[in-house]
Each structure stands twice: as structure tokens, then as C-alpha cells.
Structure 1
Amino acid sequence: MVSSTSSDYVIYHPEKLRLSDIFTTLVFGTSLVGSELIETSISSNVYGTKVGNVGVNLITVITWILQRIMIWISGPLALFGLLVEFTLNLFSLNGGLLRLLHNLVTGSLVIPKKESADYRSILAHIDERTDLYRTSSVLNHLMKAEPMDNVSERNPLDLCMMAAKIVYENKAYIENVITNHWKMYFVEHYNFWNEYLKSDDTQAFICCDRKENAQLIIVAFRGTEPFSGKDWATDLDLSWMSMGEMGRAHVGFMKALGLQDEKDYQKGWPKNYAGSRKLAYYTIRSTLKTLLQQNRNARIIVTGHSLGGALAILFPSILVLHQEEDIMTSLLGVYTFGQPRVGDKDFGDYMKAKLNVIFKRYYRVVYRYDVVPRVPFDDPISKFVHFGGCVYYRSWYKGEVTNLTTKFL
């Protein structure tokens, strides 16, 4: 077994994958450790020379191919997504096909504006709900598993589901829903720098149940966008870094959260950040400290769907690293939906030991056919697994609470 010291890491670069790499690896078992494709602190003789024991195996190669495809089609996919969403909004804002034709003839055609409060993503067109208090079997399962403190007149679990959904929308849409539909206080919507994607592509928002004397603070991270090939490539990535005694963590998700050095977690996660870019972890941490000073009795819930679920559970892990006791003691729970794997077994065990109180209220909601909770794929080198409780749906509206911490769930 390879030890995980503070300097251990394995970083894959699928954008540099060549057909010859696939052939020589799978046919001849050639080690690619040390090539442009793999950066690692661990020498190849530690891994061995056979395909099954090196940093490359069939699962790794399949993952690289899928990532390479996602990166290759990212541009056309994004343009296709823009066209689809523009078309959907064009029809919906003009009242359907017949009304659209009427508006076109009469010169009253409504042109969708992407940053307006009535512009919806494809997800909001599929699920148009904006209001709270909808009956849900998810709520019933979670409430039976671990009753939630009555910290607000609103159901915190209902808020989590809706927050994880609307965070995919633009700022104006989110603010309108929080303010006018939920009757809550909108704090801010953010576009953070994502070092993995080299763009301001990590999105989140913060809201409170009320402006003054708030009792509940919601932090919601946006997940994998359907038409973002690079987001899908991030989910699939097998790169990992050691976090010392915390275990191994997923590099792509950590970089989306604000990691600055993928080869040394101590340099990558300084307690105080002095850079110029707006990073998710540091900005949200600062905002939460301010809100807790203003609202002494407030409790915090962190949520997200898909990639956003990964960020939701990794956020408290860095709070643990930095010993941010004021925020950690105010954490009420973490609830994620369709969350991918974020670390190895040691990482999960460490988190459960350090955040035992909220781990009674850390649940992943997983639907049977959702592929995202199954990625990154099973790999003998990265060893990513899930941890914590799981609300697993085997079919529509038929769920069960489980404490399984398997690779699959």
C-alpha cells in the first residue's frame, strides 16, 4: 500500500492523452508515470510496472478518454446549450408558439435576456417550482433518520432541496425567488475563480431566513451544468492529493473550492488568503463570520447538487483544517443531492471524527440511475469512496435511509 504523506499526489492531464498512450499502456503495460500525462510525487517503482499496479489501468484509461471527449466537445456543447436555453425562454416568455408568431407579426416579440429574473435554465424549465413547503418523501425519510431542530419557521430540508435547484439560475432569478417567493433575506450570489477550469465558474449563494435576528443561514453551491463539458470532466477526474492525516481528497473539487497549490495542501490552503482572485472557500468563510457576528443564534446549513454537493461537504473539511471553531459549532448540517465521491476512506473517517455532531445530519440523496454519485469511477490508486448516511431511491418516490459507506452509494 502506498503511504499518503503531506507531499503525496497524483495529477492526471487527460488533455494530453494520445492514442499511442492508450495502446502502449493497455497492450504492453507501459508505465506512464513521469510522462506529461501523469504528475506524481510517488516513484514508478513504488507503483510497480504492471498495468494493474501503476497509476494507469483500464478504469484510468476509460476515464481519460471520457474526459478528453468532454474537453473536446466543451465548446460546441456550450453553444448548443445556449441555443437550447434561448429557444426555451423565447417560447416561454412569449406564451408559446402561436403567441410568439403573433408577437413577431405585431412587433411585440419579447427577446430573452440571460441576466434577467425571468430567464430560466433548462433545469428550471424541466422543474418550474419556486415555492417551498411541497410534500416530499425525502423530507419524511430524513426527519425520521435525524429530527431537525426547529431553528426556523421554514423547513430547513425543504430549503436545501430548493436552494440546490435554484442555484443553477442567474443572480436576478435567485434573488427574486428568495425575496418574493420564500420571503427570506438574500445575502449574495457569487461567481468564484475555479483554478481547475481557469475561469470564474464556481457559483454559490447565501441567504438567511430573515434580515435581522436570523436563525438559519443557507449556503448553496451550484453543481454540474448540463451543457458544460468541463464540469463533467471535473466530475470524472481521478487526480488526488494527500491532505496529511485527513487522507486523500479530489483535486478538481478542491481547486473549484479555492485550492491554490495542488501538490502541497499546506501551501494550497493557507489559513489567510492574500491573493486578488475571489475564491469560494475564503469569501464564504468571511461572509459567514460576519453573519454570525450579526446573528449570534444563527445555524448554518450547507447544500448543493452534483458537483455542488461535492463542494458542500468539502467546505467544512477546510474549516476543520483551519480550526474555524466559530463556524463549525454553528453548522447544523450538510445535505447533498447526487453528490460525487470527494475522498478516500481515511478522509471520510477523519471528517466523521472531527464533525461528529453534524455528521448525524450529513446525508446524500441518491437516485438509482444517477451516474454522478458513481464518479470518479472505482480506481485502485485514487480509492475514492463515499461516507456518511445516504437516502437512496430505488424507484420514483420509494426511498430508504441507509448508513452504507460503499463505493457504490
Structure 2
Amino acid sequence: MSSEENSFYDDCFIIHPDDPSYFDLFGLLFSSKLGRRRFIDCPHQSNLSFVRRWIIFVSILLQKLTLSMRIPLILTRNVLEMSLNLVSWNGGLFRLPFRLMTGKLEWPHKSSAKFRSLMAFIDPRVELDDKIKPGDAKYKASLCMMSAKFSYENEAYIKTNIMEHWKMKFYEFWNDFEDHITTEVFMMQDTLSNPNLIVVAFRGTEPLQLLWNSVETVTAAPPTIQPHDLRANLDLSWYKLKHMAKGKIHSGFIKALGLQKNNGFPKELRQPTDDRRDFTYYTRRRKLRQVLHENREARFILTGHRLGGALAILFAALLMLHEEAWLLEKLEAVYTFGQPRIMKK
């Protein structure tokens, strides 16, 4: 790893599950010398017990098997979501056959404001609890809960259901380690009752992925149901951030927030002018600076469900790492829901 990339952590344990052959993988069980393993970066560790090596072996093996299940997993998610929306769009299960026979069947489109995620079918609420008013002790928590829930939906759904009540913006961000967009986060401002309160909500793990989270006690769950994320659930890699607590942070969280392969996590991101990729941490921090400079009285809250909660916590930690004192003064609170553990001893 480059010296620039190493500038944000003191120690690391990084597994590259795509590199080893099955022969290399089985060799891990018979030798404790990690320096011989080209698929593991661990500069401050040389030997591991057989139990630890067995856990790593199982982790990598399951990641390889998960990748082979890519097509079935994507099809399962798509079929389930499309089926639920098909029934919903056509008036329910009993009216669906009639509309099919009369040629009036309405086929769902994923970019439509009517299209709902699995989370929206589980919890169909779109309004805040009208019994909770601004100033109430539960108001901010309730606002964050609804924001975290809506982070699972598409942009059109959010705008249609919330824009008339709150001023919202929704963004997608690049994940440099997966070479595709994985992290989604939107900013919301309650312009009716509390214009000085801004909520930043990070998207969490989709419900179908919960079936794969049995190993979450030792790792964490990056976003959506793509097989890249299921593999990350099983990844045991970690970083120990500089100037932070002694705990080790799961690498999936760092990557989801914008860690770059050759540049680590510098305080200011230097991108080529032709590089249009968005990195979650830097783009959201820049937007917060802009909005808070426009309204000096405003403060912001970070929130998220499951993975989104973990990203919210780590976002605040990176602000501390980069000594963003002015932004930290504007941070009102961090509310998380069902957040997995982000650090291990």
C-alpha cells in the first residue's frame, strides 16, 4: 500500500478474497505464517492460531460461493419486488386477474414514484406521527426514523411522497473498491416546522439481505442486495484509524464512505478534472458546508438504519479524524436504528 493510503490508519488486516486459488486457500490451514499469503495484507501480524485461520478460511470460501450465486440472488430480489408492486399497482390480488384479462394490466417501473422497495411494503407509512410535534422529546428521533426508512426508496418515490412536506435531495455515491455505485444517502430539511434542522440519512441493508447476516457479530453489512455486499458481510478485513479508539473498524464501512485504492482517506480529495465520480464522505461533507454556510443557524443530524446507522457513526468519526471542528459544532446528534457493531477489539 502507498504511503498516502497508509496515512489514515495505524494498522490493518485486509483480505483479498478474489486472489487465492482453492489450493492457496487450503494452504492457509497448514501454515501460520501470514507473510506467505499474497491474498492477506497484515503488516503488524505474522502468525495466527489455527482457529483464527479456520475462520478466515471459512470467510473466504463463503465469499467465493456467494459470488457464484450472483444471478439467483439478483433474480430473487427482482422477482419478489416486481411481484409485490405488480399486485399493488393493479388494485390487489383479486383485481389483478381481471385487469390481466381486460388488457388493462399496469406493469411496474422501478424508477416510478409508485414503485416501492421491500422496506416500504414492510412499513408502508409515509407521514410522521401527527401526535409528535416539533419541540417534543421524540420529534427528532421520529424524524430520523422516517428519513432512515425512506432512504431505501428511489428518487421519484421520495420526491413525490415527501417533497410536498419537506425539502429533500437524494444522491448516489461511488464506491471505489467495487467499481459501481453502492452507497446512497439523501439530505432532508423540514422547511415547515424546523427550517434550521437538516437530516442526512444513509441507506441501510435491504430486508432480503438480512437472511445473510448471521455472521454480523464479527463483521458488518454493506448496502443493498448486490452480491458484492453479501460478500462484504463475510469479510473479516479491518482498519485501525489513526488518533481514534483502539477498536478496529470493518473495511466495508470505510470503502462505502469513499476510501480510494491509491489515495486512502486524505483530508481533502484531489480528483482529476475528468473524474466525475462521487465519493460519499467528501461529497456529503462539501454539501453540508455549503448548506450550513447559507444558513448559519442550521444544525444537522446524521441517521441511518442497519448499515446506514454504521455509516452515520463513521461519518462523524471521519469528521473528527480530519479535525472538522466547525462542522462538528453544527452536529446536533446521531440517531441510528438496528445498527451493527462497527468496531471490534
TM-score by length of 1: 0.70
Distance 1:170 1:88 in 2: 16
Matches within 5 A, 1:242-257: 242-246=240-244, 247=246, 248-257=248-257
Q: Following TM superposition, by how much is the alpha carbon of 1:304 offset from its aligned partner in structure 2, in angstroms?
A: 1.0
Letter in 1 for 2:236: L
SS at match of 2:201: strand
> 1:51 aligns to what?
50
Contact 1:17 1:68 in 2 (8 A): no
Q: Following TM superposition, by how much is the alpha carbon of 1:221 offset from its aligned partner in structure 2, in angstroms?
A: 0.7
> 1:260 aligns to what?
260
SS at match of 2:188: strand
The unaligned stretches of length 5 or more in structure 1 are 140-149, 344-383, 386-409
Q: Following TM superposition, by how much is the alpha carbon of 1:47 offset from its aligned partner in structure 2, in angstroms?
A: 2.9
CA offset digits 1:379-408 (Å, max 9, x no partner): xxxxx15xxxxxxxxxxxxxxxxxxxxxxx
Distance 1:304 1:318 in 2: 16
- Shift of the 34–82 alpha-carbon distance from structure 1 to 2, 3 Å rule, reads same
> 2:167 aligns to what?
185
CA offset digits 1:257-298 (Å, max 9, x no partner): 011147xxxx41222223221111111111111111222222
| Alignment match of 1:13 (pick from 12, 16, 33) | 16
Whether 1:284 aligns to 2:280 is: no
> 1:35 aligns to what?
37
Distance 2:171 2:92 in 1: 33
Letter in 1 for 2:54: L
Q: Following TM superposition, by how much is the alpha carbon of 1:332 offset from its aligned partner in structure 2, in angstroms?
A: 1.3
Contact 1:17 1:64 in 2 (8 A): no
Q: Following TM superposition, by how much is the alpha carbon of 1:342 offset from its aligned partner in structure 2, in angstroms?
A: 2.1
SS at match of 1:327: helix
Q: Following TM superposition, by how much is the alpha carbon of 1:95 offset from its aligned partner in structure 2, in angstroms?
A: 1.0
CA offset digits 1:314-354 (Å, max 9, x no partner): 101111122212211111111212222323xxxxxxxxxxx
| Alignment match of 1:198 (pick from 175, 179, 184) | 179
Whether 1:238 aligns to 2:236 is: yes
Q: Following TM superposition, by how much is the alpha carbon of 1:100 offset from its aligned partner in structure 2, in angstroms?
A: 1.7
Q: Root-mean-square deviation (CA), in Å?
A: 2.7
Larger RCO, structure (CA 8 Å, separation 6 or more): 2
Letter in 2 for 1:75: I
Q: How many residues align?
A: 315
Contact 2:8 2:266 in 1 (8 A): no
SS at match of 1:162: helix
CA offset digits 1:11-66 (Å, max 9, x no partner): 1022345443454333x344343423212323xxx5336435xxx52322232233
Higher mean alpha-carbon deviation, 14-23 vs 119-128, is at 14-23
> 1:130 aligns to what?
126
> 1:162 aligns to what?
146
- Shift of the 118–320 alpha-carbon distance from structure 1 to 2, 3 Å rule, reads same
Distance 1:23 1:154 in 2: 53
Q: Following TM superposition, by how much is the alpha carbon of 1:157 offset from its aligned partner in structure 2, in angstroms?
A: 0.2
Distance 2:149 2:127 in 1: 12
Contact 2:176 2:261 in 1 (8 A): no
> 1:24 aligns to what?
27
Distance 1:6 1:205 in 2: 28
Matches within 5 A, 1:115-154: 115-133=111-129
Q: Following TM superposition, by how much is the alpha carbon of 1:154 offset from its aligned partner in structure 2, in angstroms?
A: 8.2
SS at match of 1:200: strand
Higher mean alpha-carbon deviation, 314-323 vs 221-230, is at 221-230
Percent of aligned pairs sharing the same letter? 41
Whether 1:103 aligns to 2:99 is: yes
Whether 1:84 aligns to 2:80 is: yes
- Shift of the 211–296 alpha-carbon distance from structure 1 to 2, 3 Å rule, reads farther
Distance 2:60 2:130 in 1: 41
CA offset digits 1:160-206 (Å, max 9, x no partner): 112111111101111223224xx1111x2111001232201110100
> 2:4 aligns to what?
none
Q: Following TM superposition, by how much is the alpha carbon of 1:5 offset from its aligned partner in structure 2, in angstroms?
A: 9.5
